Amino acid sequence: MRYAWLRELAVPVPETLKSPLEVAAFEARQAAERLRFAVDEKMGEGYAAEKTGDGYLVTGGTTGVLYGAYALLRALRLGEEPPRGAQFPRCSLRMLNCWDNMDGTIERGYAGRSLWLEGDAFAYDPGRVRQLGRMLASVGINVLCLNNVNVHAPAQQLIGDFLPDLAAFAGILRPFGVRLMVSVDFSMPMQCGLNTADPLDSRVQAWWRERAGIVYAAVPDLAGFLVKADSEHRPGPNAYGRDHAQGANMLARTLKPFGGVLVWRAFVYNCLQDWRDRAVDRPCAAYDTYMPLDGKFDDNVILQVKNGPYDFQVREPVSPLLLGLKNTAMAVEFQLAQEYTGHQIDLYAMPPLWREVIDAVGADSLRAMAAVGNLGRDENWTGHPFAALNLFAFGLFAWDPGSDPGALIDQWTRLTYDLPEDQRKTLAGLLLDSRAVYEKYTAPLGLCWMVQPGLHYGPNPYGYEFDAWGTYNRADRNGVGIDRTAAGTGYACQYPESLARLYSDPAACPENLLLFFHRLPYGHVMPDGRTLIQRIYDDHFDGCEQAYAMARALQTLDLPEPDRSEALARMEKQVKNAENWRDVINTFFYRFSGVEDSRERKIYE
Amino acid sequence: MRYAWLRELAVPVPETLKSPLEVAAFEARQAAERLRFAVDEKMGEGYAAEKTGDGYLVTGGTTGVLYGAYALLRALRLGEEPPRGAQFPRCSLRMLNCWDNMDGTIERGYAGRSLWLEGDAFAYDPGRVRQLGRMLASVGINVLCLNNVNVHAPAQQLIGDFLPDLAAFAGILRPFGVRLMVSVDFSMPMQCGLNTADPLDSRVQAWWRERAGIVYAAVPDLAGFLVKADSEHRPGPNAYGRDHAQGANMLARTLKPFGGVLVWRAFVYNCLQDWRDRAVDRPCAAYDTYMPLDGKFDDNVILQVKNGPYDFQVREPVSPLLLGLKNTAMAVEFQLAQEYTGHQIDLYAMPPLWREVIDAVGADSLRAMAAVGNLGRDENWTGHPFAALNLFAFGLFAWDPGSDPGALIDQWTRLTYDLPEDQRKTLAGLLLDSRAVYEKYTAPLGLCWMVQPGLHYGPNPYGYEFDAWGTYNRADRNGVGIDRTAAGTGYACQYPESLARLYSDPAACPENLLLFFHRLPYGHVMPDGRTLIQRIYDDHFDGCEQAYAMARALQTLDLPEPDRSEALARMEKQVKNAENWRDVINTFFYRFSGVEDSRERKIYE
């Protein structure tokens, strides 16, 4: 079994361990120094580590003691002192949302089949699940939502016929402080004899109350339910004229007696849009839907807001809903699975993205942080061995949203590989820059959705242009982009005034969002004097050159096998992908604009 | 059970019938007049019907007698005299290729799941299969290839573990003169212990010889094998440096002792093309591959040539391979399944297409005619009740490729519905015009592939533009189309000289192929004085108006239920589709050209 970072994870953890404290003690035995533990239940997930004569004493809550152990092991491995003083996580729920289906496939999975589901049943290697729990604990992730938010039959039965299996699975993860969450189907009562799923119907309420009781009898520490409702053809309360607060609160009240939370995804929009209709603008949808409900959710409802407002595009402005809600418990939802960001073939390290979002939103406004998982049955867990960085960093970032992206990346490279320092810096540099490079060769200046429809890898700049998903760039022979200012769709007005002003002015708008907020002619002159079209060409040529440079740099690294071969094989595909993006996007805009590249590089006709 | 045309088919045929003669006698008992039968084995599939004092005498070969019975029943139902003199089919093999998969799905199926496969096994209602056999016999179809040419596991085992089931299935169809054919996997020997499928390897040859013996022991009248090789990732002889004649002949020789034929699909092209490479041109591929092999195929090999040269597009020139081969037994391959032609939602009657192809090719040059089936488990067999026309007409057309499209359509409408004559004429008119209408709102002037990638329904004019399928239109701000003359890809030069000259001259080239053969500026003046761009706009507006008119006409018909509801529901979708095609294509070209519609109709920006 391969380990994704911390060396200590290489030794299998025995199945006899029953509590975080026992796990902590086991891990500690591998450390060079002597570690001792004291449990102080008041500390919950928190811990404090102090140097003693012959080693360290970690004091922490029931799970905090384990987090402390891993923090100490990381520090020792890095040759650093453990953090001073008591440490507590900023977000109480640090959640991995896994889009695993009962048939073993994973929606948007790029690392093989499900680690725990196959053939419409639970199917796993218990040792591997323990290893997974340990990996998650080692970076502080404490909730695993085990099934796809699109609940395909028979996944409804995870809270029905499959409950004994769910309980057994929960038991394996419990010593690692990882609690399960289940994605549920809002219409499940209708599959069980009722003729409605109306949240205000007393039979529906009674059905869910009874169901919650049965579920918590089987898994007493279940974190709660996750719901995708009234979104992309999923059932929801709107069918009964009820709003999302009514839908969410009904479910939340059934979980409340057991300490469970109801996580409600705010990813709601019209996915049957008519492209001819320029008044409807998909990024507006979440704000329009949920702002009127601010303050109407029960206190154990968490509204999980996808970032960005459109979807998980390479470059979007922060979701205005995250800035707007004042009286609603929120989680931000990121996506470790590289759906639009390179399919775990192309390098795309995410901490810089998270940093930007949290800088805009403020960590204090979040009760939880969620990420769509990037795991699968591949031997290296994440398809690309470097994609493990995103899982590692997400856990630590959710614990401390003040984390510096460069420091997280440094830490992962140092813990994972024994490389000479110059090579390690090269690797860390590759990773730190990887998002910017990917953005440069794929998404010009905030334009989104130029991907192959459905697949979401590789370029197809007009592939979604006339479709029903609300994902348009409106390129024509004169210009490109959508006016989202007050004069256009009005989306920019969803932001607080200073941001709205910034985004609404093409001269002030950040360049990387220029075409997200504005429709501009190809001759538009950018601050540096280049035209928009020249800038599109330059970015795509530059991005591809940068991919070549990354490939050359990767060659120089003495990575262990099979990581080296895996990384190099994927880099070869990335370079091809970058070339294709460069040529397709440049040709697309050349065909529309007729403008030649001022530097006379090759643009195909 | 619904019947698709001839009224007599409404009464279930008993399972006790064991031969075409018995079926003929059973059917005859339903006729108002007395029919008698005499078998003259020398006549094979032929028959002659003569009036006797109290009815008719049909003399025919073993299956000819059944074809004669149906011809007579059709004539009586139509109030016509049966054809005079002995009748023989022009094509000896009149084949339905069904793309059914073992899991029950049908590739490009639009009428529900497979009628005979489900859950990786045979699964059927024997009564329904008998009814199918009878439908096929009633129009002279004598071969049913029962599985997808893309042979997905476990379909290889149709000539292995599934042989007893195959034999039982064949037995049900035998009394109807329908013989089975099986699509086989060229690499099957490698799944059975050999380390090669090289057709020149004696072990491979021996393996297939033995296999053929086993297969024919189970199904002695099997028509033969159908093979898709070296095409769209299917295995084939090229992997071993062998050509397609070597591959086909090896298999054909194993079938020869049993009287079987080897049907080899000529649908071969590079499906991993680089869009940047303008020298490669997909429609050239079949001719380039097979002309050098003319005369090299054994006499029981039939080369099945897809029409058109590109794929089954709405409008293509006839395949030059069909015109070029002189010493090869050929089948033309049509597609009843409406993959690119409306998914059995939009009306698209195919006889006018076949007429054009056969007029160009000459029926005498064909040994066989094949059509990809449009059948499925839907109660009405073909999804759209009118789509049954295409199956009906294909059978009669393959029997007599001189048939007039209007007469075939008339016949189907009269046999299928009891409508007042004015309404019947309206229906026949709708059907006769349906292809032209569909072409008008979808495929401007011979441009192909402007469909949703993968799905192949609805418009996406640039969806395939940068993909690897070789399916480009190269639209830009100046013009559109591909130069396929000698000055361009040279495709036009594959035609006999007079046609090559015709196609190569934009002034002489048929308008409906203009952009197939030429790249032209939007301002190109057409013979009637309109510009190319105006003509694109006009066609799409006109095509949509014609769809509206069809919808209005359909409303006036007193069709029986559920046909009326089914047809109207589909027509509603067709109208939406036509509107979307009109608006997407017009907008696409407006965005590129910037030219306003001279008639100031609505073109979305």
Q: Which of A275, A476, A582 to mutate to test the interface with B (most CBs of B within 10 A)?
A: A476
Least confident stretch, A419-433, B260-274, B419-433: B260-274
B593 neighbourhood in chain A, CB within 8 Å: 477
Running DSSP on this structure, what letter comes out for residue A515? H
What value, to the nearest 5°, has the Cα angle with vertex B458 and ends B314 and A585?
Answer: 100
Of A465, A474, A592, the CB nearest to B477: A592
Spatial distance between the Cα atoms of A203 and A147, rounded to a whole number of angstroms? 26
Nearest CA in chain A to B603: A276
- pLDDT of A288: 96
Q: Which of B466, B467, B473, B601 to mutate to test the interface with A (most CBs of A within 10 A)?
A: B466
Provide the H-helix boundaries in A299-380.
Answer: 320-324, 351-361
Question: CB distance from A593 to chain B under 8 Å?
Answer: yes
Spatial distance between the Cα atoms of A311 and A266, rounded to a whole number of angstroms? 11
- pLDDT of B161: 97
Confidence label for B594 from pLDDT (cuts 50, 70 and 90): very high
- pLDDT of B108: 98
What interhelical angle do A351-361 and A421-442 show, nearest 10?
70
A467 neighbourhood in chain B, CB within 8 Å: 460
Residues 550..569 of A with a Cβ closer than 8 Å to B: which?
none
Enter the tokens of residue A258.
Answer: 């057991």
Domains and CATH numbers, chain B: 7-78 (no CATH), 93-416 (3.20.20.80), 444-482+519-593 (3.90.1330.10)
- pLDDT of A1: 60
End-to-end CA distance of chain B: 50
Q: How many CB atoms lie within 10 A of CB A526?
A: 16
B584 neighbourhood in chain A, CB within 8 Å: 275, 466
Q: Above 70 in pLDDT, residue B49? A: yes
What interhelical angle do B64-78 and B405-416 show, nearest 10?
80
Nearest CA in chain B to A590: B476
Measured in whole angstroms, how far is the alpha carbon of residue A592 from the centre of its chain?
35
Residues linked to residue A58 through DSSP beta bridges, in sequence order: A37, A49
Measured in whole angstroms, how far is the alpha carbon of residue B409 from the centre of its chain?
17
Question: CB distance from B126 to chain A under 8 Å?
Answer: no
Element (H, E) at A333: strand A330-335
Residues 395..454 of A with a Cβ closer than 8 Å to B: which?
453-454
**SS3 label, residue A459:** strand
Spatial distance between the Cα atoms of A162 and A164, rounded to a whole number of angstroms? 6
Q: What is the pLDDT of residues B334-371, one digit of tens each?
A: 999 999 999 999 999 999 999 999 999 999 999 999 99
Q: Which of A450, A457, A462, A480 to mutate to test the interface with B (most CBs of B within 10 A)?
A: A462
- pLDDT of A400: 97
Chain A: closest CA distance from residue B490 (Å): 19
- pLDDT of A11: 87
Residue A564 identity: R
Kindly give, in sequence order, each residue whose CB lies less than 8 Å from that of residue B354, ignoring residues fewer than 6 positions away: B334, B393, B394, B397, B401, B405
Running DSSP on this structure, what letter comes out for residue A531? B
B465 neighbourhood in chain A, CB within 8 Å: 462
A378 in active site: no
Q: What is the pLDDT of residues B141-189, one digit of tens each?
A: 999 999 999 999 999 999 999 999 999 999 999 999 999 999 999 999 9
- pLDDT of A224: 98
Chain A: closest CA distance from residue B133 (Å): 37
Nearest CA in chain A to B590: A476
Question: CB distance from B477 to chain A under 8 Å?
Answer: yes
Which portions of chain A are predicted below pLDDT 70?
A: 1
Q: Which of B476, B522, B579, B584 to mutate to test the interface with A (most CBs of A within 10 A)?
A: B476
Chain B: closest CA distance from residue A354 (Å): 33
A582 neighbourhood in chain B, CB within 8 Å: none
Residues 257..286 of A with a Cβ closer than 8 Å to B: which?
275-276
Which of A252, A47, A255 has the alpha carbon at shortest distance from A140?
Answer: A47
Question: CB distance from A477 to chain B under 8 Å?
Answer: yes
Chain A: closest CA distance from residue B274 (Å): 10
Q: Is the ipTM of this complex over 0.90?
A: yes
Residues 451..470 of B with a Cβ closer than 8 Å to A: which?
453-454, 459-463, 465-467
Measured in whole angstroms, how far is the alpha carbon of residue A241 from the centre of its chain?
31
Question: In the A/B pair of chains, how many CB contacts fall below 8 A?
Answer: 68
Catalytic residue among A118, A311, A439, A539: A311
Q: Above 70 in pLDDT, residue B1? A: no
Question: CB distance from A584 to chain B under 8 Å?
Answer: yes
Contact B276 A583 (CB under 8 A): yes
Catalytic residue among A81, A232, A277, A359: A232
Chain B: closest CA distance from residue A589 (Å): 9
Which of B97, B116, B118, B123 has the alpha carbon at shortest distance from B108?
Answer: B97
Q: Which of B273, B462, B585 to mutate to test the interface with A (most CBs of A within 10 A)?
A: B462
Averaged pLDDT, B73-86: 93
**SS3 label, residue B273:** coil
Kindly give, in sequence order, each residue whose CB lies less than 8 Å from that of residue B326, ignoring residues fewer than 6 positions away: B294, B295
Question: CB distance from A488 to chain B under 8 Å?
Answer: no
User: Residues for chain A: how many in total?
Assistant: 605
Question: CB distance from B233 to chain A under 8 Å?
Answer: no
Provide the H-helix boundaries in B139-198.
Answer: 163-173, 188-191
B467 neighbourhood in chain A, CB within 8 Å: 460
A584 neighbourhood in chain B, CB within 8 Å: 275, 466
Measured over the CA atoms of residue B426, residue B427, residue B428 and residue B430, the dihedral's sign is: positive
Q: Do β-strands A330-335 and A301-306 pair in parallel, antiparallel, or remain unpaired? A: parallel
Measured over the CA atoms of residue B154, residue B158, residue B164 and residue B170, the dihedral's sign is: positive
Question: CB distance from A602 to chain B under 8 Å?
Answer: no
Burial of A587 per CB tally in 10 Å (0-12, 13-18, 19+): buried
Contact B477 A604 (CB under 8 A): no
Question: CB distance from A579 to chain B under 8 Å?
Answer: no
Of B460, B466, B592, the CB nearest to A592: B592
Contact B454 A454 (CB under 8 A): yes
Of B276, B463, B478, the CB nearest to A463: B463
Contact B453 A465 (CB under 8 A): no
Q: Above 90 in pLDDT, residue B271? A: no
Confidence label for B2 from pLDDT (cuts 50, 70 and 90): confident
Question: CB distance from B580 to chain A under 8 Å?
Answer: yes
| Mean of the per-residue pLDDT values of chain B | 96
Enter the tokens of residue A151.
Answer: 């609940």
Residues of B recognised as catalytic = 232, 311, 339
Spatial distance between the Cα atoms of A208 and B517, rounded to a whole number of angstroms? 64
- The answer to whether the predicted template modeling score (pTM) of the entire model surpasses 0.90 is yes
Question: CB distance from B471 to chain A under 8 Å?
Answer: no
Q: What is the 3-state secondary structure (H, E, C) of B190-240?
A: HHCCCCCCCCCCHHHHHHHHHHHHHHHHHCCCCCEEEECCCCCCCCCHHHH
